[in-house]
Structure 1
Amino acid sequence: MSTIAPSELRFPVGPPLSFAELERAAEGPLRLVVEPEVRQRVAGCHEFALRRMADGRPVYGATTGFGPLVTFPGRSEAADQCANVLAHLTAGQGPDLDPGVVRATMLVRLRSLCKGHSGVSLDVVDALTAALGTGFAPAVPRLGSLGASGDLVPLAYVARALSGEGRAYVDGRVMSAADALAECGLAPVALDGRDALALVNGTSLTAAAAALASASLARSRTVAVLLSAALIDVLGAAPDFLAPELLDAFGHPGTVQVGRELRRGLAGLTPSGTRPLQEPYSVRCTPQLIGAAGAALDHAREVVHHDLDSVSDNPLFFPDRDLVAHGGNFFGQPAAFAADQLTLVATQLGNLAERQLDLLIDPHRNGGLPPMLSPDPGRQHALQGVQIAATAVVATMRRAAHPASVQSLPTNLHNQDVIPFGTQAALNALDTARLLRLLHGSLGVALRQAAHLTPRTLTPGTAALVGRLAEVCAPVEQDRPLDEEIRRAADVLDRSARRA
């Protein structure tokens, strides 16, 4: 059984899930307490769904076939119908998703089911709750969801693993789902009624991935400010472009806020007096660029917050109105647009970081520091390999920046004749957010080296940041592998953003 002590989270149906709660679920066991009133709501909706399934009136996916086969009757036994929905959807391909992303997905799905409109049994709620309290994570292939009728294929793998079929991870180790459940002290859940369709027919993977990307990028926006301030300081640039009057005239609150943060980080700066009248855009336009990134992130985060609070099944059950409503809440267009916006933000912040790194290692523009920040150019190459790798990373981000949300392809016998590709958009956003962290780690290593080489006295803010980076990255006096130090620097910067 998993030995990691779970953190705790009360789980009423009130405020939406926070990004921090999703990150906690992704990182490890999370003890959830489903309040009695929530359990009562779920149980009442389940009983209503069973009555409607038994009274002869059609209920999609319970008494009918799935998708365009809705005109045909489904299987006569509810348990057999549940097995059928999972069997035909187990067709995913590609590498497994990060287990942490799957665990966050499970938490989003649980939250949606606890709203009491899905007709799911308490057995499913209890199975998800218990699994999240351990290190259990179903093995889910990355490719399969269109985000158009919920995340059908990936969530089918989640449902099967909870039933003891397929594969799963326990604290990062992959094994059969049955063995994983046993190791975690969990019992396989028996699906009946509408349980299987309720588990798969929602955009929970899309919402979880978009939320994890949003959380990461919010910190990366702060990291971009910290690194830009340190770069300005190391270069000895005059901060005239941060004048409050100038930025106020621009009229964008995000830019004004970034200017305020940069001025605070540069308190005590003494310009070198040797810099040109106007700095390159990678310095001079940082308030405008990072400010716009923050504004775009705010909009995307609001959309994703709504998605985390949504019920995206079909149909939905409203016992108090004797209503079974069939519709399209599973259509993940809002999150698709928002996730594409997140990818664009990550990529432009990556462009900024890569250009700032290039400026820092160029002896013609870096205020007299040696080329590649090498203490002995030619014999030692210092940041040369780091820049090459950073260029490869930013090129990868640019290739991924083409929007997924407009790539509609008809499928499913033209039942799904327009689709949003929200899952691809969200996973793409998460990928680019993680690549941005590596670019920031690369720039952090370079700034640590530049601070070591510069004769300038740095501001307290820069000195503190460099001091934290120095704990994981020594000066490059002789060439050595820097790959792991870049990743450690990225973690240091992420923690610095959390503090900020």
Structure 2
Amino acid sequence: MIQLNGERLSMGQLEEILFKHEKVEIGQDAIEKVQKSRQAVERIVQQEKTVYGINTGFGKFSDVKIAEHEVGTLQLNLIRSHACGFGEPFPEKVSRAMMVLRLNALLKGLSGIRLEVLERLVWMINEKVHPIIPQQGSLGASGDLAPLSHLVLAIIGEGEVWVDGVIRPSDEVFNEHELAPIQLQAKEGLALINGTQAMTAQGVVNYIEAEKLAYASEWIAAMTMESLYGIIDAFHPAVHEARGMQEQMDVAKRMRDWLEGSQLITHQGEKRVQDPYSLRCIPQIHGASWQVLNYVKEKLELEMNAATDNPLIFEEGEVVISGGNFHGQPIAFAMDFMKIGVAELANVSERRIERLVNPTLNEGLPAFLSAQPGLESGAMILQYSAASLVSENKTLAHPASVDSIPSSANQEDHVSMGTTGARHARMIIANVRHVLAIEAFCAAQAVEYRDAEKMSPKLYQKWQELRAIASSMTADRIFSKDINKIAAYLLP
């Protein structure tokens, strides 16, 4: 059980909640903050103070005063009108992450929402009742309005949810458990949707998957090193200490660990003096991608524990401020940066694939690793596919954050497009996973030609795991099936 209080949710804890379905609970300190904040909203309504989002319209309608008896209707209308998402739904893990992150943000006690609404979110998380949320429709400011509105539709019994892999109406699920749909009160609709949880949720899942891929890219590259009699001197600690980039030093160390005990690697001058960059510069290239991932993780963990709605309530309601924490620019930049950093892992992997299959570059291996070159094409088209994926990544890596389209009659005149960036990052990560799977498949075949028993002990174990998934390439077959199996093996 992981306790949430709006302050200390870590990437590791969120990974437990998302990938191992760890349950959550609300911390007692957070309960007290939430209750005080709600009392402040109720006083504002009773005293008929004019406060944005509590008793006014939204966006360009912020100057329209709403009567006390209509503040609940205002919130319901907000959700219905803003649920304008389209396209395929976010993956179920992302939907789960959105609920966890929105819950955690509201537990900071700055939003004025009732505890019972948050308890419903806890119930849905723990019972694995996940809202169906379309991916398209968010500008990334004022928050992820359209996606989060679809999340709220599920809470109020007007949306759909996943339950045990089946899509069902949320009110039907609530009825089965003798629960009534939530009836929104003053400010609650706005509090639930005015935030960056769609882009942040997708960003968190992106990061968790990308981190595993980045580690996997190292042992896969090490297997390619063995296949091509790579020169290990380039990973000597002194080389990397001379530059001083910590992530580069870390990659070099891990590469030395993977290759320790190998009888296939070489030293300078034994076969050649230098390796090509795709082998020699693995610490520099992969290390730079780790720098990107570390930056992304830092920004995500900050946003995971941030109050991102508007207005925010301070000093027990004495100070209510309309600000702009819903603006997704920090996460938009992080997602665009992630796209570049992760795409490079595939770029350099594809170059190693080319060296494995090209008979003029692969140190005497069969052309395209084919058992019968000419009669059989072997891995020829696997390299084509890898090239196609990395080329597609170059298009997807174009930054979404450089775009902005004014909305709400120019009241909201600059937006982040952060959710688009996060979605494109997810697509890049999927492509990278398949490129690395192709390299792993080719390296496993190539090292088999050399003599797998001469591999380092650690890599030999990885080779055995790969062989349990994809058998040796003794004849042409439908290789996409093997690649898909290896790609699934590379998932968290």
TM-score (norm 1): 0.93
Measure the CA separation in 2 of the matches of 1:161 and 1:13. Answer: 22
Partner of 1:62: 54
* 2:209 counterpart residue number: 216
CA distance in 1, matches of 2:256, 2:233: 10
CA distance in 1, matches of 2:481, 2:247: 34
**For the residues of structure 2 that align with 1:74 and 1:397, how far apart are their CA atoms?**
48
In the TM superposition, what is the alpha-carbon distance from 1:116 to its structure 2 partner?
0.6
Maintained 8 Å contact 2:240/2:248: yes
CA separation in 2, counterparts of 1:394 and 1:350? 6
Displacement after TM superposition at 1:274 (Å)? 6.5
Q: Which amino acid aligns with 1:198?
A: A
Number of the residue aligned with 1:4: none
State the shift of 1:13 in Å.
4.1
Cα offset, 1:141, TM superposition: 1.2
Aligned match for 1:52, one of 33, 44, 47: 44
Q: CA 1:333/1:85 → structure 2, altered by over 3 Å: closer, same or farther?
A: same
- Corresponding residue of 2:394: 398
Alpha-carbon distance in structure 2 between the residues aligned to 1:183 and 1:235? 61
Q: How far, CA to CA, are the matches of 1:446 and 1:184 in structure 2?
A: 52
Measured in 1, the distance between the counterparts of 2:442 and 2:95 equals 35
Please show how residues 199-278 of structure 1 align to structure 2 within 5 Å. 199-270=192-263, 271=265, 275-278=271-274
Structure 1 residue 478, shift from structure 2 partner: 2.2
* Greater alpha carbon shift after TM alignment, 237-246 vs 171-180: 171-180
Give the secondary structure class of the aligned counterpart of 1:65.
coil
User: In the superposition, relative to structure 1, how do residues 459 and 184 fare at CA in structure 2: closer, same or farther (>3 Å)?
Assistant: farther
The superposition leaves residues 390-441 of structure 1 with CA deviations (integer Å, 9 ceiling, x where unpaired) of: 2222122111000111111222111111111111112222222232222212
Stretch moving more, 64-73 or 240-249: 240-249
Counterpart residue type for residue 147 of structure 1: G
C-alpha displacement at 1:182, in angstroms? Answer: 4.3
Which runs of structure 2 are paired with 1:390-429 in the superposition (5 Å)? 390-429=386-425
Number of residue-to-residue matches in the alignment: 487
Q: Does 1:18 align with 2:10?
A: yes
Instruction: Report how far residue 387 of structure 1 moved.
Output: 2.3
CA distance in 2, matches of 1:52, 1:397: 50
Match status 1:149 vs 2:142: yes
Partner of 1:136: 129
1:460 maps to which of 457, 460, 466: 457
Partner of 1:3: none
Instruction: Tell me, in whole angstroms, the C-alpha distance in 1 between the residues paired with 2:199 and 2:314.
Output: 25
Relative distance call for 1:469 and 1:182 in structure 2 (3 A) is farther
**Which residues of 2 match residues 75-86 of structure 1 at below 5 A?**
76-86=69-79
Q: Paired residue for 2:474?
A: 477
SS in 2 for 1:142: strand
Alpha-carbon deviations, 1:281-339, whole Å to 9, x = none?
A: 11111111011111121112111111111000100111447211111111111111111
Aligned AA (1:145): S
Larger deviation: 230-239 or 166-175? 166-175
Equivalents in 2 of 1:406, 1:283: separation in Å? 34
Measured in 2, the distance between the counterparts of 1:69 and 1:320 equals 26
The equivalent position to 2:183 in structure 1, one of 175, 183, 190, is 190
List runs of 5+ in structure 1 lacking aligned partners. Answer: 1-7, 496-500
CA distance in 2 between partners of 1:426 and 1:400 (Å): 11
Please tell me whether the aligned partners of residues 29 and 134 of structure 1 are also in contact (alpha carbons under 8 angstroms).
Answer: no
Q: Does the alignment pair 1:40 with 2:32? A: yes
Q: Which runs of 5+ in 2 are unaligned?
A: none
1:112 shift after superposition: 0.4
| Cα 1:120–1:283 shift into 2, 3 Å | same
| Corresponding position of 2:356 | 360
The CA deviation string for residues 204-244 of structure 1, in whole angstroms up to 9 with x for no partner, is: 11111112212222222211211111111121122121122
Q: How many angstroms apart in 1 are the aligned matches of 2:479 and 2:30?
A: 51
Query: Are residues 1:339 and 2:331 paired?
Result: no
Distance in 2 between residues matched to 1:207 and 1:275, nearest whole Å: 49
Aligned partner of residue 191 in structure 1, secondary structure: coil
Aligned position for 2:285:
289
Name the residue aligned to 2:489: 492
Give the % identical residues: 29
Aligned partner of 1:122 in structure 2 is: 115
Distance 1:407 1:13 in 2: 31
The one-letter amino acid paired with 2:287 is: G
Q: Contact 1:350–1:439 (CA<8 Å) still a contact in 2?
A: yes
